[in-house]
Amino acid sequence: MDSINENLVDEIFNALETAKKTQSLLPQLPPNIKPVHLRVLRAIYRIHDDNGNARITDINKALQFLLPNTTKFINELHNLGLVKKSNLPSDMRVVLIHLTELGEQYVEKYIIKYHDPLKEEFEKIGESDCLIMIDVINKVYGSIKKVYQE
């Protein structure tokens, strides 16, 4: 295992500050809209069928959330007027989610407009470097959490 010196610890904190600044570059969200709401809208957009419907179970699988959390966020989006809920006529236990016109506008404005160009930029970095970055950020988070919560 490599030895970590004080300068490297400082550089890690500098990088975390840069990551925080990066978040501030993202477009400001409308009132009552959380970043997790955009993740749910993106999942619906990606997996919807030819009729524009997505099953809650499929949305949940795409997000890898606990089902109660997915249901909670879907209900929040429904209350905000971004999605409509209905049941599959052949099986009333199956809940279908459909983007409303406002939901489609949010997908266009906050997801398509930014995610596609970001994907192109991230491709320049390379998949392996992006995966390493994700892994390292999660490990750094775990280390900091461990030290500051003891």
* Residue from 77, 68, 72 nearest 29 by CA: 77
pLDDT at 78 exceeding the cut of 80: yes
User: Is 129 a domain residue?
Assistant: no
CATH of the domain at 47: 1.10.10.10
Number of domains in the chain: 1
Give tens-digit pLDDT for 15-27.
Answer: 999 999 998 898 8
User: Is 139 a domain residue?
Assistant: no
Give tens-digit pLDDT for 115-139.
Answer: 888 999 999 999 999 999 999 999 9
pLDDT at 112 exceeding the cut of 70: yes
Torsion of Cα atoms, 118 then 41 then 28 then 79, to 10°: 180
Residue span of the structural domain in which 95 resides: 17-123
User: Is 137 a domain residue?
Assistant: no
Task: Provide the whole-model pTM.
Answer: 0.78
Q: How far is 115 from 37, CA to CA, in rounded Å?
A: 15
User: Is 133 a domain residue?
Assistant: no
Q: How far is 41 from 112, CA to CA, in rounded Å?
A: 11
